[in-house]
Structure 1
Amino acid sequence: MNDINMIKQVAALPGMSIADLKSLWADLHTTEPPPYNRVFLVKRLAYRLQELSLGGLSATTEKRMERIVEEEKLPPQEKKRPPGEKLLPGTQLIREWQGVEHRCTVLNEGFEYQGREFNSLSALANFITGTKWNGNVFFALKKQGDKR
């Protein structure tokens, strides 16, 4: 199927009857159409037509989704944050502490706060508060007591 044909088919979906949508579903899938409403069928069929024409998810995305599904089966203390979910350089973390707004920037390695670099969020949180803090808790990236 070429791109123009796919675009025409996707554009025609909203005007099709439920019976026609279910028939198309049977043509494009190896399963019976689900018993959901028109909007559901149109959206899923549009995706399937694009998938067949343009290709599906990348192997990397499929592997990541599989890891997420497997991780959800683990108890909370065993869950790990995937590498792709680390803070991106340039991200700004903002926290109000004792009536003052504190803003730091994520760097490639470390964090910048008021022109000074810190190796960890905990070191930064300790600098701001003068007491020992978990940096992820201080900047609300995780809840206190969460082992992740």
Structure 2
Amino acid sequence: MTTDIDPIPARLASLKTATTAELKTQWRELFGAEPPSFNRRHLERRLAYRLQELAFGGLKPETLRRLERLGAALEEKGKGRGWGPAQPELMPITGTRLLREWQGVEQVVTVTSDGFEWQGRPYRSLSAVARAITGTRWSGPVFFGLKNHRSAA
């Protein structure tokens, strides 16, 4: 009795043990182009996806169209905004003092024209101030009570 073994799982498993040179050779065969200078893990993941794509087919045309529409909408929404605050309506006016008690110490942050100031040091974001105060990652607007935690999620 002969059993047909699916070569795809075996090829996927072999990516982990292949040398970087072998991965690059496979890249050239599968993509018809020079491999990017990304790390090994990136090459493994992209090769694994490509092997499965060739064996089982890629994304459905309607999925591709949906992704294109979403990308275009995101691009349109972000035009002219730069890297400023994601929600400018949350930004208090310059000169506002934000107060927060943290571990029994009152923390005072002043809103400046180009960011925030805490303990005489400038910060570009309120989240950076919250991180400096707590030592952990926080949403600055949530930490200072400008946005409730539920709507931040």
Q: TM-score, with normalisation over the residues of structure 1?
A: 0.48
> Which structure is higher in RCO with an 8 Å CA cutoff and minimum separation 6?
1
TM-score by length of 2: 0.47
